């Protein structure tokens, strides 16, 4: 194909292809457009990067690129509903492309589609991963001297739909125990076919999918509300949570004890606060609050009084009481007969633990 814009037109008439009448009789038959970059062997569906498809002049709204950076995720284009399959009516399928040096091959096929429920039934009726083989594999791992086998938690929810598994499925090449739901997996492939295991990202094509008999038995013997089970190294399973979870009560008690300690520490600060009152302005010296314990009045740094309760301010504990003691001592003696903070038993707590003081 050349780099410039070009078009290819494929005429299609029912009278020329009587087999197309099946589309009118059975909706499972569809007419689809395929495109690939090679004509030998099995090829992924791939359209030119810049291309569009029209049927009888109407543009077909379809994703011709697939998922970004995911080769093979492009689906063939279903054009059945845009065709007029009657008599001698000539349908024109026009494919326009541009900016490509690669050669592509375009073809229109009549396809028989299979619904997802039918595919799930096919998977369920063929070869299964037996319960015995799963337990044998678990025991083999447990007996390996180089591996420390421990219990594991198995989720009974599908990693794709987050709903409870109905048909637990995985690829025959998968080595993990976790399964995905067959219906959810096939519906995902309808949207963008990749055929990769959503758990280990290994290839999981349709012919390699199998029902896990071990997980299926667990689903049959447990309540639908149960989300996880614990699998022991010997293959036995239980609905009890692991030991780490069962010990949550003692841990919770310990947390409660910690909370009690915190409450006690806060109460001690609160009690001390009643004795010395939380300062409500910038503290110039420890002798500022001699009269602030009951009436709520406090002397400002300049010595003036205010009947209005001042707003809380940041406490500066880095100032030395000796620097302003000569200025504040006469003022202290004029307004209160209480003892100064220098003689208070709460002063060491205030000076030694400034970070615990309420701000």
| Burial (Cβ within 10 Å: 0-12, 13-18, ≥19) of residue 251 | exposed
* CA–CA dist 341, 173 (Å, integer): 78
- In the predicted model, is pLDDT for residue 239 greater than 80? yes
Model pLDDT for residues 108-167, shown as the tens digit of each residue: 999 999 999 999 999 999 989 999 999 998 888 888 888 777 889 999 999 999 999 999
Strands 128-129 and 209-212, sheet pairing = parallel
CA 84 from chain centre, in angstroms, equals: 46
Mean pLDDT of 234-240: 86
pTM of the model: 0.63
Question: Hey, is 148 helix, strand or coil?
Answer: coil
What percent of the chain is modeled with pLDDT above 70?
Answer: 66
Q: How confident is the model at residue 297 (pLDDT cuts 50, 70, 90)?
A: very low
- In the predicted model, is pLDDT for residue 259 greater than 70? no
Would you give the DSSP letter of residue 59?
E
pLDDT of residue 118: 96
Model pLDDT for residues 189-203, shown as the tens digit of each residue: 998 899 999 999 999
**Which fold would CATH assign to domain 6-113?**
Jelly Rolls (2.60.120)
Residues forming beta bridges with residue 78, ordered by sequence position: 32
Domain with CATH 3.30.40.10 in the chain: 117-246
pLDDT of residue 323: 52
The domain 117-246 having CATH identifier 3.30.40.10: the answer here is yes
Q: Do 52 and 42 contact (CB within 8 A), yes or no?
A: no
* CA–CA dist 83, 12 (Å, integer): 9
Q: What are phi and psi of 89, to 5 degrees?
A: -65, 130
The more confidently predicted of residues 70 and 158 is 158
Model pLDDT for residues 153-178, shown as the tens digit of each residue: 999 999 999 999 999 999 999 999 99
Give CA angle at 101 (98, 105), nearest 5°.
Answer: 80
Q: Average pLDDT of the chain?
A: 77
* CA–CA dist 32, 93 (Å, integer): 11
- In the predicted model, is pLDDT for residue 209 greater than 70? yes
Q: How confident is the model at residue 91 (pLDDT cuts 50, 70, 90)?
A: very high
Contacts of 124 (CB under 8 A, 6+ apart): 167, 182, 211
Q: Do 215 and 130 contact (CB within 8 A), yes or no?
A: no
Mean pLDDT of 272-282: 46
pLDDT of residue 67: 87
pLDDT of residue 75: 94
pLDDT of residue 172: 94
Q: What are phi and psi of 99, to 5 degrees?
A: 55, 60
Domain with CATH 2.60.120.780 in the chain: 6-113
* CA–CA dist 333, 298 (Å, integer): 14
Residues forming beta bridges with residue 196, ordered by sequence position: 203
pLDDT of residue 359: 42
Q: Do 98 and 51 contact (CB within 8 A), yes or no?
A: yes
pLDDT of residue 25: 94
Q: How confident is the model at residue 69 (pLDDT cuts 50, 70, 90)?
A: confident
pLDDT of residue 19: 95
- In the predicted model, is pLDDT for residue 275 greater than 70? no
Q: Where are the beta strands (DSSP E) in 137-261?
A: 152-155, 168-171, 180-181, 209-212, 228-231, 237-238
Q: Which of 69, 71, 99, 82 is nearest to 33 (CA)?
A: 82
State both tokens at 106.
């375009």
State both tokens at 88.
């001698």
pLDDT of residue 148: 79
Q: Which of 154, 77, 60 is nearest to 111 (CA)?
A: 77
């Amino acid at each position: 194909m050349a780099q410039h814009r070009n078009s290819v037109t494929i005429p299609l008439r029912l009278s020329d292809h009587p087999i197309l009448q099946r589309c009118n009789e059975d909706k499972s038959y569809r007419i689809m457009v395929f495109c690939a970059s090679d004509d030998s062997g099995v090829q992924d569906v791939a359209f030119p990067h810049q291309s569009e498809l029209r049927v009888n002049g109407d543009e077909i709204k379809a994703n011709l690129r697939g998922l970004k950076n995911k080769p093979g995720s492009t689906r063939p284009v279903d054009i059945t509903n845009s065709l007029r399959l009657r008599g001698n009516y000539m349908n024109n399928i026009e494919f326009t492309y541009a900016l490509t040096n690669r050669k592509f091959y375009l073809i229109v096929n009549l396809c028989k589609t299979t619904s997802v429920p039918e595919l799930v039934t096919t998977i369920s009726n063929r070869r299964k991963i037996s319960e015995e083989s799963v337990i044998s594999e678990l025991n083999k791992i447990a007996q390996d001297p180089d591996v420390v086998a421990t219990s594991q938690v198995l989720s009974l929810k599908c990693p794709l739909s987050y709903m409870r598994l109905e048909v637990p499925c995985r690829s025959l090449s998968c080595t993990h125990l976790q399964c995905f739901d067959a219906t959810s997996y096939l519906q995902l492939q309808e949207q963008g076919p990749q055929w990769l295991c959503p758990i280990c990202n290994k290839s999981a094509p349709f012919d390699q999918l199998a029902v896990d008999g071990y997980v299926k038995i667990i689903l049959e013997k447990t309540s639908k509300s149960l989300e996880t089970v614990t699998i022991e190294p010997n293959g036995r399973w239980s609905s009890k949570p692991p030991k780490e979870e069962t010990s949550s009560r003692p841990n919770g008690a310990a947390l409660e004890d910690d909370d009690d300690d915190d409450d006690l520490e806060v109460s001690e600060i609160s009690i001390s606060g009643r004795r010395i009152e939380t300062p409500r302005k910038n503290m110039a010296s420890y002798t500022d609050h001699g009269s602030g314990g009951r009436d709520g009045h406090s002397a400002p740094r300049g010595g003036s009084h205010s009947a209005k309760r001042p707003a809380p301010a940041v406490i500066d504990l880095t100032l030395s009481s000796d620097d302003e003691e000569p200025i504040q001592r006469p003022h202290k003696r004029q307004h209160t007969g209480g003892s100064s903070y220098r003689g208070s038993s709460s002063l060491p707590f205030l000076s030694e633990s400034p970070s615990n003081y309420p701000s």
